[in-house]
Amino acid sequence: MFKRKRSAPRLGEVIRKTQLSPNMLRVTFGGEAMKGFPTDAASANIKLLLPQAEHDHAAYIEALNGTGTKPIKRTYTVANYDADSNELDIDFALHSHAGPATAFALNAKLGDLVGIAGPSQPKLVNKDADWFLIAGDMTAIPAIEANLRYLPDNARGHIVIEVQDDNDKRDFAKPDLMQLTYLLNSKPEDGGSILAETVTSLEWLPGTPSVWMAGESSGVREVRTYLAKTKLLDRRCRYTSGYWQIGQDEDDFQLVKRSEPDI
């Protein structure tokens, strides 16, 4: 697979904030440095490089250039990039325990600058599969929406999304034969998710599926094991990614994630 060439971080400027739902906030970045951002990056990851508490503007710029205390690094998904308007949309799922990235999104003001590294390769289903299973919690919604835009019109299968509030539900444009199920979990950081249980109980349709799932890591691991060991689904037919872990910040979570068995 073609890999993007790693480039220096861009300095994105906050040009708009949009409250998409009670627990989803969109921050739109623009500015000269965002020009040339890949137009095919929806569902790909970027790294937000956030200033440390002790950084003034000059120290922060030096940190982005590799000098001094490193910025705080947090991973987010590209919702969309529009080259005509030079606008990059990043959606932030808002939890009650706000980490550095959520705090940045909530407090960001127009004109604020933040380092943005990436993007990675997009993570999309194989649209030539016989059917599709797409699932995730609110952190996965930007990538889920990108996958739905990518599906062929005759796609069939399941979409399962866990949200925190009924008003977080979205009326996605989707193929008619893709069945959408919403689950409610008002406090995802406290556990109690039934996302994995729901996904593993879905009807398994005829033919070979393309499965895409992301969200809280323990549920993703459960589904990954089910796909690999119960359904014996070839790993080329599945993408499963833990985006976060209850009780861990991203730095600790990434260490754990890298040590997980590869199945």
Of the residues 47, 82, 117, the one at which a domain ends:
117
Taking alpha carbons only, the member of 218, 219, 240, 48 closest to residue 143 is 240
258: three-class secondary structure by DSSP: helix
Closest CA to 159 of 202, 126, 215, 205: 202
How far, in Å, CA of 101 to CA of 50, rounded? 8
Q: Are residues 89 and 172 in the same domain?
A: no
Q: pLDDT digits over 128-142, tens only?
A: 999 999 999 999 999
Per DSSP, the residues of 22-75 read TTEEEEEEESGGGTT--TT-TT-EEEEEEPPTT--HHHHHHHHTT-SSPPEEEE
Residues 6 or more apart from 213 whose CB is under 8 A from it? 133, 134, 135, 136, 140, 199, 220, 223, 224, 238, 239, 240, 241
Q: What is the pLDDT of residue 92?
A: 97
Mean pLDDT of 169-177: 95
Tell the residue number behind the tokens 């919403």, with chain if given: 182
Q: What is the mean pLDDT of the chain?
A: 93
Tell me: do 29 and 60 sit in the same domain. Answer: yes
Claim to verify: residue 139 and residue 110 sit in the same structural domain:
no
For residue 143, tell me if it sits in a domain: yes
Sequence-distant (≥ 6) Cβ neighbours of residue 51 within 8 angstroms: 59, 60, 63, 71, 72, 114
Instruction: Supply the pLDDT for residue 259.
Output: 65
Give 43-92 pLDDT, tens digit per residue: 999 999 999 999 999 999 999 999 999 999 999 999 999 999 999 999 99
Provide the domain count of the chain: 2
Q: What's the start-to-end Cα distance of the chain, in Å?
A: 20
Stretch 250-255: mean pLDDT: 68
Closest CA to 221 of 249, 187, 193, 182: 193
Same domain, residue pair 137 and 253? yes
- CA–CA distance, 4 with 29 (Å, rounded to integer): 21
- Domain at 31, CATH number: 2.40.30.10
Is residue 4, in this structure, part of any structural domain at all?
no
pLDDT category, 206, cuts 50, 70, 90? very high
Split at pLDDT 50, 70, 90, the class of 249 is: confident
What was the pLDDT predicted at 97? 74
Residue pLDDT, tens place only, 211-234: 999 999 999 999 999 999 999 999
Residues 166 and 204 in one domain: yes
Q: Are 97 and 189 in contact (CB under 8 A)?
A: yes
**Residue 140 and residue 27 share a domain:** no
Sign of CA dihedral 147, 148, 152, 158: positive
Whole-prediction pTM value? 0.92
Question: How does pLDDT run across 144-156, given as a tens digit for each residue?
Answer: 999 999 999 999 9
Give, as one character, the DSSP assignment of residue 119: -
Domain that holds residue 163: 131-259
Residue 256 has pLDDT above 80, yes or no: no
In a domain, 66, yes or no: yes
Q: What percent of the chain is modeled with pLDDT above 70?
A: 93
Query: Which segments within the chain are labelled E, that is strand?
Result: 10-21, 24-30, 45-50, 72-82, 87-93, 113-117, 131-136, 156-163, 177-184, 209-216, 238-244
Whether residues 234 and 167 fall in one domain: yes
